[in-house]
Amino acid sequence: MGNPFKAGEVLLTDGIFKTSQDTGKAFVLSLDPDRLLAPIAYSAGAMTDTSKFYGGWEAYNYRGYQDRGIAGHSLGHWLSAAADMYAVTGDEKIKAKLDYTVSKLAEYQRLDGSGYIGGFEKTGFENALSGEFEVSAFDLNGYWVPWYSLHKIYQGLIDAYKLADNETALEVVRSFADWAVNVTGGMSEEKFSKMLTCEYGGMNEAMAELYVITGDRKYFNLAVRFSQSAVIEPLSEGRDELQGKHANTQIPKILGAAAIYDIDKNKENYRRAAEFFYNTVVNHRSYCIGGNSDHEHFGSVAEETLSTQTCETCNTYNMMKLAEYLYNWEHKAEYMDYYEKALFNHILASQDPQSGMKTYFMATKQGHFKVYSTKEDSFWCCVGSGMENPARYTRNIYYKDGNDIYINQFISSLVNWSEKGLKLSQTTNYPYEENVVIKVEEGNADASVKIRIPAWIKGAAAVKVNDGEALNVSKTGYYTIERHWNAGDTITVMFPMGLHIYTARDDSHKTAFMYGPTVLAGALGTENFPACDIVSDHTSLDLHGDIIVNDIVVSDKNPDTFIKPIDLSRLEFEMTSQGNKIKLIPYFDLHHQRYSLYWNVYGTDEKSEKTVYEPESVIIDIVRPNEQQPEVDHAMKKNNSYSGYSDTAARGWREARGSDGYFSYEMKVCGGDNCLAALYSGNDGEYEREFEILADNEVIGVQKLENNSQEKLFYVYYEIPRKLTENKEKITVKFRPTGEGKAAGRVFELKICRTKKEI
């Protein structure tokens, strides 16, 4: 087993990643540590002014959670981002801000006295853990994913110690971890397992890392307790039970399993779980840019659904971390092939080069656009991981193992291989050009240089050492050059690039186009574009009006016949279909306009079905039950209500039971006619499903489900009287059973529409 190069041993020197890193560094420096610290100061009793909180997910009263929300998670991400950015740039301004922030955390921790530091009040949380509690996928006794939020602070402090040599950070995180050991110490395994139903981030990975630093076994034991066997065991046995699960809840669990296996090789089932999980997500559940998930959830392996909420950026951040673990165990080039795809086409593309703002999702819906965070009123999870990404660009460019150095990513950079006394550089404008020059800048030593030959290569690579003859290398994987190296030696590699096709799993006509490692997007302009695509609510533009995206109809599906280069130095192409010309550019270069990544491609002898187009959407608002963010964003309230996922329907659902049961959502309405569309199943189960539908506490419908459609989903429409929507932006929609022994729902989707029509 080899070792990754440490942060600081690799420096970016030029190119698109250096430019993006500089933008990311400016964003990290621009944030106010005192505002990031405000939730922690508030919970410690050091301040009472909640107006100091940042907005969005950091806001004190975000979606009604008050001090039981997710506030404080962004501080943890910022600590990690600042520590990593300091390590890779040496910028002392970042170090000063980081040290100040850690010192304030130590101060607040002393005020609390228990070791706890978090962005929410802990007393009720501790009481819940010592007694009985209710738990769901994202709620633990009224606290929204508390361990998830706390994990970010644990990891941030660990990174501040490891990457920025802040000894205080280690003292603070040890005391904080001791609190976690103590507060969970009296919980039975049954109760602890129940607690893990609620998303808990990477608590197992952080505790494993803390054990490696300190050698204190209690942290390793806690890491194992935070490893959910209900998820890990099926995966270790090769059983894919991921459909319907919240994607980024699962990925950190697997990262933790991998970290524990690194410590204890007897836990081979943890490694098997990590490898199987990686394979099914990367090879069977990912999109052309390397991202995964639709509306934050895994679908079936047969699906590749296009929507406005695909490819959550946090997921790709974490899947790239998982690729690192697997690569450390076995140096397979395929892990770095995936890493390249995700790095260039998702992570690099997720930051606005002008403002430094971050994306939550990368829309794959044809003709949609990227939506970016605001600086002060967003702070979504993907803003947090998005802070970290630019400082992580140096990771996995190089890798060392004994006498071997692996060149995995082709990015202009400098690496210090101190064990060999060698400094090597890469100079390249990849992927805009095919050539990469690797040079020994300092030192001399015997070593093997292993160069990844990408899986996408079109023809044979040419590899030349110094002024020697170029050798053709057609085999993908690694090409090894073993010799004595001296300062001034160079390796020149030419990777032949060309157009190639990515085909979706669920439809052979659904196609994306790539050139070398780069996904090309259709640049579709700003027709019917929003006034601003930098917004506080990442889903607020989902229902913005569409544009027509025509199918591509060609006589020959070979992309070289209908896609021609305009400017290869900028990777600009022109695609022609039935007289229409469409500009294609790298997805990472496309911002602030509409685009398509996927196209419906038909031969002239095939049936072409035009994309459904609604120039002004009839849908005003939509709720997808059983999904975290839609239910939080719509201020769900409930009693005796349950939710789950139907493999048959490939959707989540919610229901309420008994005379005291109900669930409700706040939903947007518009002036004029409004209609509620509810999606039901004909599979009614054990309850008599008779229930009322209310709008602002007025009954607008009574529904009875009696196996209406033999398990098929169907919409029922309820007109909303105008008196209930006049001069309002929102109403509360409620479902409640008509009596004891009855149930409301199951409801699979809710929409507020302008008119009653099939949607």
For residues 136 and 313, give the distance between their C-alpha atoms in angstroms, rounded to a whole number. Answer: 24
474-490 tens-digit pLDDT: 999 999 999 999 999 99
Whole-model pTM? Answer: 0.95
* Cβ proximity of 398 and 412 under 8 Å: no
According to CATH, the topology of domain 619-753 is: Jelly Rolls (2.60.120)
Rg (CA), the chain: 27
Q: Which two tokens stand for residue 756?
A: 């009653």
In this prediction, residue 68 carries a pLDDT of: 72
225-268 tens-digit pLDDT: 999 999 999 999 999 999 999 999 999 999 999 999 999 999 99
* Cβ proximity of 690 and 714 under 8 Å: no
Share of the chain above pLDDT 90, in %: 90
Q: What is the mean pLDDT of residues 675-703?
A: 90
Strand, coil or helix: what is 679? strand
In this prediction, residue 647 carries a pLDDT of: 86
For residues 261 and 256, give the distance between their C-alpha atoms in angstroms, rounded to a whole number. Answer: 9
Residue 625 has pLDDT above 70, yes or no: yes
- Reported residue count of the chain is 759
Strand, coil or helix: what is 700? strand
For residues 82 and 95, give the distance between their C-alpha atoms in angstroms, rounded to a whole number. Answer: 7
Strand, coil or helix: what is 630? helix
Q: What is the mean pLDDT of the chain?
A: 95
Residue 614 has pLDDT above 60, yes or no: no
188-220 tens-digit pLDDT: 999 999 999 999 999 999 999 999 999 999 999
341: nearest Cα among 511, 514, 507, 592: 514
For residues 286 and 151, give the distance between their C-alpha atoms in angstroms, rounded to a whole number. Answer: 26
Q: Which residues contact 195 (CB under 8 A, 6 or more apart)?
A: 129, 133, 135, 140, 187
In this prediction, residue 712 carries a pLDDT of: 83
| Largest interatomic CA distance in the chain | 86
Spans of all domains in the chain: 398-430+435-494, 513-603, 619-753
Residue 695 has pLDDT above 70, yes or no: yes
Work out the pLDDT band at 709, boundaries 50, 70, 90.
low
In this prediction, residue 758 carries a pLDDT of: 45
In this prediction, residue 617 carries a pLDDT of: 63
26-48 tens-digit pLDDT: 999 999 999 999 999 999 999 99
Work out the pLDDT band at 2, boundaries 50, 70, 90.
confident
CATH number (2.60.40.1180, 1.10.730.10, 2.90.10.10, 3.30.2290.10) of 398-430+435-494 reads: 2.60.40.1180
Work out the pLDDT band at 66, boundaries 50, 70, 90.
low
384-429 tens-digit pLDDT: 999 999 999 999 999 999 999 999 999 999 999 999 999 999 999 9
In this prediction, residue 62 carries a pLDDT of: 74
Q: Which residue has the tokens 């395929």?
A: 334
Strand, coil or helix: what is 609? coil
